[in-house]
Amino acid sequence: MLEYSRKALMDYGNVSNNTIFYVMDYMREELKNIQVEVEK
């Protein structure tokens, strides 16, 4: 989780409450990538 928070802060800066949405988006993308790898 900390990895995604750092990435969001590096990409978008501190955008207050919106930061959590960027963090969740990174996490969602990572889970999709993991799921695709498992399905192979």
Taking only the tens of pLDDT, the chain with its 40 residues reads 789 989 999 999 888 888 899 999 999 999 999 998 888 7
Question: Under a CB-based contact definition with an 8 Å cutoff, are residues 16 and 34 in contact?
Answer: no
pTM: 0.73
pLDDT for position 1: 75
Question: Under a CB-based contact definition with an 8 Å cutoff, are residues 5 and 19 in contact?
Answer: yes
pLDDT for position 33: 94
pLDDT for position 14: 87
Alpha-carbon span 18 to 24, nearest angstrom: 10
pLDDT for position 26: 95
